[in-house]
Amino acid sequence: MEYKIGKEARCAVIGYGSWATAIVGLLAANEARVGWYVRNPEVLEGLLGEGRNPRYLSDVEFDRRRIALSDDLDEVVREADIVILATPSAYLKTFLEPLTVSLQDKFVVSAIKGIVPGDYKTIVEYVHDRYDLSYKQIGIITGPSHAEEVSRGKLSYLTVVCTDPENAQMLGEKFATDYIHLSYSTDLYGIESHGMQRMVRYHKCIEKGMIDVHAKPEVVFETPISAVIDAHEAMGQLVSHKAMEMAIEKAKTTGVGIVSVRNSNHYGIAGYYAKMACKEGLMGFSCTNSEAIMVPTFARKAMLGSNPIACAFPAEPYDFFFDASTTVVTRGKLEMYNKMEKPLPEGWALDKDGHPSTNAPDVLANIVAKKGGGIMPRGGSPERRGSHKGYGYGMLCEIFSSILSMGATSNYCMTGGKGQICHGFMAINPAYFGDPAAIKEHFSKYLQELRDAPKADGQERIYTHGEKEVAAVKRIMENGIPVNDNTMVEVLDLCNYLGMDFGAYFGDYRPPVKKDVFKGNY
C-alpha cells in the first residue's frame, strides 16, 4: 500500500477538548464534512443542539451541516480516510478502547503532546506498535499554538510531519487558513540540546521580561533584496520564521534575499530556517549571534557567542544540509554534560584564567557571571589546531547578524535584562544562475561521487552533510525520542509552577530528584 493522501480524503477527529475543538474548526473551514467522535454525552448534546461545545471553547459556533457527530467510534473511523487523534495522552487508550474497526487502510495523525502512560512510548510509536501500522501512514500535527488563539483566528504556527512530503502537503492543505502558518518538517533530532532542554530557559526569559510575548516586530529598513527587522524582544523563533519568509519571497523575485534581525532572543535550531528556503527550491543560509561564550584565540574572556551557521541546498536523494556552531560545542552541550554529571571532554572549555577545563558547572557559572573563560572556538584552543578559523567563522555570523542590523554584538547580548540577540538569513535562487533542475542534478552527481569515493581503512561509508540527520529522524520515528532525566526534572518543576498536570502528559513517570541537579543559570 502506498499510503497516499488524496485531495478528497475525509477527516475525522477523536477527542472533544480545547485542541480537538480548535482542530475541527480548522478542518470544517476547508472540508465539506468532518467526522467527530465525542464520547461525553453533555458535549455531544451541546454540539448537536446548539453547535457549541459547552465545556471547551464554548464561544465557537459550528455549522452543524459540516460536522458529523457521533458517540460510536467505529462509525466515525469507518467513514474516515484520515483519523486525527486529539485527546490528552493520558486518556488515549481509553478513547480508543471501543475501536473494533481496522486502521490498516487509514492515515492516522497525532495531534497529541506527551507520551502514553505505562507504555512510555511516543504517540507515533504507540500507534505503530498497537495497531501494526507503517510509519508511512502516520503523521504529526504540532506547533507553538494555543487552542484559544487558533479558534479566534489569531496568527498561529503549525508543523506537519509525515515521512512522505506529498502527504504532508496534502494534510497541511486541510488545515490551511490565512492565519495559520504551516511548515513541513521532520526536524526531531534537535531535542536534546534545543528542544525540551530549552523550555525552562524560554519560560524564565518570559518571566523576567526578556522575551516580550506581546512584541510586534518592525521592518526598519528595506530594499528589493534586503531588509532589517527590529524584533523588539520578541520570541526568536517567531520573528525568525517571518524573516526567512521575507528572504524567500525576495529571492523568488530578485534572485537573492538577505534579512538581518536585531533585538531578538534565542531562535532555536539554525538549520530549521535554512531548510525553509531549501524546501522552496532555494539555497538557504541562517546564522545568529548569542550570549558571549566563545573565547577568541589567545584570549581568556568570552567575546563571541556559539554563533552557528547553517546552509541547505536542494539535492537528490538527500538535500545538502550543514548546521554547526563556530565553537567546539554549544552551551546546550555543556548543560547536558552537567545534567549527566560527566566531565567535559578535553579541548572543549576554558576556566576563568584561560586554562583548559573539564568542570561543566564551573564553566557554566563563569559564563553566567561573566568572570572569564568559556567555550573554545571550532578547532580548539591552540592556533596550530585551527582555532583562528572557528573564531573567524564566528565573526562572519556577527557581520550578517549584529553588524548589518546595527544590533548588539555577542558581548552585549543577554545583559541588562535584555536578550538583544541578532540573526541573519539569506535565500539564493538557483534560477538566476541557469536551469535549477540541471544545477540540482549537477550537485547531486557530485554528492554521490563523494559518497562513492575510496574509503579509508576500516571505514564502510562516507557521509555527505544531511545524511546522518535523515538517519536520525528515521531512528527516532522507530524508537521514540530519548530525553535526559534531569531535563524532565526541569519540566516537572515548570509544570508545578504553571499548575499543569505532569501526569496527563507523562503518566506514572517521575524523574529522579537530586539536590545538586543543575536547573539552568538563565
The answer to whether residue 321 scores a pLDDT higher than 80 is yes
The answer to whether residue 289 scores a pLDDT higher than 70 is yes
pLDDT class for 73, splitting at 50, 70, 90? very high
Return the pLDDT at 294: 92
The answer to whether residue 64 scores a pLDDT higher than 60 is yes
The answer to whether residue 178 scores a pLDDT higher than 60 is yes
Residues 53 and 159 in one domain: yes
Q: Is residue 127 part of a domain?
A: yes
The answer to whether residue 187 scores a pLDDT higher than 50 is no
Residues 249 and 229 in one domain: yes
Return the pLDDT at 44: 92
Return the pLDDT at 148: 79
pLDDT class for 109, splitting at 50, 70, 90? very high
Return the pLDDT at 216: 92
Residues 165 and 290 in one domain: no
Q: In this structure, are residues 55 and 90 in contact, taking their beta carbons and an 8 Å threshold?
A: no
Return the pLDDT at 475: 64
Return the pLDDT at 189: 38
Q: Which domain holds residue 140?
A: 11-184
Residues 236 and 151 in one domain: no
- Total tally of structural domains belonging to the chain: 2
CATH code of residue 346: 3.30.1370.60
H or E element that contains 273: helix 270-278
Mean pLDDT of 173-195: 63
Q: Is residue 257 part of a domain?
A: yes
Q: In this structure, are residues 34 and 11 in contact, taking their beta carbons and an 8 Å threshold?
A: yes
Residues 265 and 346 in one domain: yes
Greater model confidence, 37 or 117: 37
Domain endpoint, select from 412, 432, 452:
432
Helix, strand, or coil here: 121?
Answer: strand
The answer to whether residue 463 scores a pLDDT higher than 90 is no
Greater model confidence, 166 or 258: 258
Mean pLDDT of 398-419: 94
The answer to whether residue 400 scores a pLDDT higher than 90 is yes
Helix, strand, or coil here: 395?
Answer: helix
Rounded mean pLDDT of the chain? 85
pLDDT class for 107, splitting at 50, 70, 90? very high
Assigned C-alpha cell, 128: 505503530
% of the chain surpassing 90 pLDDT: 41
Greater model confidence, 375 or 200: 375
Residues 157 and 221 in one domain: no
Q: What is the DSSP letter of 399?
A: I
Q: Is residue 509 part of a domain?
A: no
Mean pLDDT of 492-515: 74
pLDDT class for 369, splitting at 50, 70, 90? confident
Return the pLDDT at 427: 98
pLDDT class for 192, splitting at 50, 70, 90? very low
Give CB contacts under 8 A, 24+ apart, made by 36-39. 36/12, 36/67, 36/68, 36/69, 36/70, 36/76, 37/12, 37/13, 37/70, 37/71, 37/72, 37/73, 37/76, 37/77, 37/95, 38/69, 38/70, 38/71, 39/71, 39/73, 39/95
CATH code of residue 138: 3.40.50.720
| Among 50, 52, 15, 22, residue whose Cα is nearest residue 36 | 15
Q: Is residue 428 part of a domain?
A: yes
Overall pTM surpassing 0.75 (yes/no): no
Return the pLDDT at 193: 43
Domain endpoint, select from 164, 184, 204:
184
Q: Is residue 201 part of a domain?
A: yes
Mean pLDDT of 72-94: 91
The answer to whether residue 241 scores a pLDDT higher than 70 is yes
Q: Is residue 467 part of a domain?
A: no
Greater model confidence, 365 or 383: 365
Q: What is the DSSP letter of 400?
A: I
pLDDT class for 484, splitting at 50, 70, 90? low
Greater model confidence, 138 or 258: 258
pLDDT class for 168, splitting at 50, 70, 90? confident
The answer to whether residue 10 scores a pLDDT higher than 90 is yes
Q: How far is CA 247 from CA 250, 269, 324, 414, 427, in A?
A: 5, 18, 21, 26, 6
Residues 268 and 220 in one domain: yes
Q: Is residue 441 part of a domain?
A: no
Mean pLDDT of 170-180: 86
Residues 329 and 370 in one domain: yes
Return the pLDDT at 519: 47
Residues 34 and 174 in one domain: yes
Mean pLDDT of 391-402: 95
Mean pLDDT of 391-404: 96
Mean pLDDT of 209-235: 94
The answer to whether residue 114 scores a pLDDT higher than 90 is no
Residues 178 and 195 in one domain: no
Domain endpoint, select from 432, 464, 499:
432
Q: Is residue 420 part of a domain?
A: yes
Residues 246 and 319 in one domain: yes
Greater model confidence, 315 or 501: 315
Q: In this structure, are residues 427 and 277 in contact, taking their beta carbons and an 8 Å threshold?
A: yes
Return the pLDDT at 513: 62
Beta carbons within 10 angstroms of residue 209's beta carbon: 11
The answer to whether residue 243 scores a pLDDT higher than 90 is yes
Residues 323 and 364 in one domain: yes
Greater model confidence, 159 or 193: 159
